[in-house]
A = this chain, B = another copy of it.
Amino acid sequence: MQKKFNRIVIFGVGLIGGSFALALKKSAAVRQIVGVGRSHASLETAKQLGIIDHIATSVEEAVLGADLIIIAAPVAQTELILRSIEPFLASSTIVTDAGSTKTDVVAAARLALGDKIGQFVPAHPIAGRELNGPEAALVDLYVGKKAVITRLPENTDESVARVAWAWQQCGAIIHHLEPEQHDAVFAAVSHLPHLLAYALVDDIARKPHADTLFQYAASGFRDFTRIAGSSPEMWRDITLANRVAMLEELDSYTARLAELRTYLVSADSDAIEGVYRRAQHARHNWISAIEAAEKQHREGGD
């Protein structure tokens, strides 16, 4: 049985950090939430929305007395934030993050925290929206979603359990992966699709007749490019942090496109239909599996 958090500090009170705060407040898993961030206006908004209770006046003031610190800022800021925290970090405080990449975050944490690295439990909640900022935060953003913990050899079972409990209080389902495995998986199913969507919109926007093209873009285009509405800064950081795995996925994908191109050139009806049919089938099976898992989860399983 885990006990309530006394003081949680959130670095970056936007969509991800704000939704975490709202969910923990709703489940009464925390007494006080403190916000730290680059934009004071954004922190004021978060306070007015009841997402945080207090805006920290300094990192020192924020960190002292915290039992959990979560970094929910673009991943490239992780090292700097951890360096600013480290001098004030009590041995009883657990630090975690919500970054979409893990290998780089772990490397940054090792540099910044030194022999306090055991206090850092890396995590990644698999949820998002194409909107940013505290106004976009949702109390139920994580309900039924996965939260992946990529534990370090230095982590204690207790600190891992504490971070897991926090995400469970948000309604998330805990998964465990190695940091490298995490990054390879998300390069394929999340990071590359974001790059592809951004690239398509940019390609169309640069054409001389872009206005006409956008005029006839409809719901299929809207869904396909929804993720291109995401924060450019956040996704620039993710792309750079995970560029080795992303290059591998990009090369695999462009090889597939080159193959399809030859089918188009030769008007190979069977080959084109084969690709489309396999894809439709795989997607159908995937959706069915998701829906079965969601049903099981709603009915109290896990």
Which A residues are closer than 8 A to B by beta carbons? 126-128, 145-146, 148, 175, 185-186, 188-190, 192-207, 210, 212-214, 216-233, 235-236, 239-240, 243, 246-247, 250-254, 256-258, 260-261, 264-265, 267, 269, 272-273, 275-280, 282-284, 286-287, 289-290
> Known contacts A224-B197, A264-B239, A272-B239; is A217 also within 8 Å of B189 by CB?
yes
Are the C-beta atoms of B278 and A264 separated by less than 8 Å? no
Cβ of A222 to closest chain B Cβ, rounded Å: 8
Instruction: Please state if A232 and B189 are interface contacts (CB–CB under 8 Å).
Output: no
- The A interface, classified by DSSP as helix, strand, loop or mixed, is helix
A218/B265 in contact, CB under 8 A: no
Residues A128 and B252 in contact in the complex (CB < 8 Å), given A198-B279, A202-B282? no
State whether B267 touches A228 (Cβ < 8 A): no
Task: Report the 6 A-B pairs with minimum CB-CB distance, sorted nearest first.
Answer: A205-B282, A232-B276, A201-B279, A189-B217, A236-B273, A198-B279
CB pair A243 B264 closer than 8 Å? yes
Q: Is the beta-carbon distance between B264 and A247 smaller than 8 angstroms? A: yes
* Cβ contacts under 8 Å, A225 to chain B: 193, 279, 283
Q: Given the complex of chains A and B, what is the CA–CA distance between A53 and B252 in angstroms?
A: 50
Partner of A199, one of B190, B256, B267: B256
A223's contact among B224, B243, B269, B279, by CB below 8 Å, is which?
A: B224
- Our pick among B145, B250, B290 for the contact of A261 (Cβ within 8 Å) is B250
CA of A219 to CA of B194 in the docked complex: distance in angstroms?
12
Q: Is A213 in contact with B185, judged by CB distance below 8 angstroms?
A: yes
Which residues on the B side are within 8 Å of A277 (C-beta)? 232
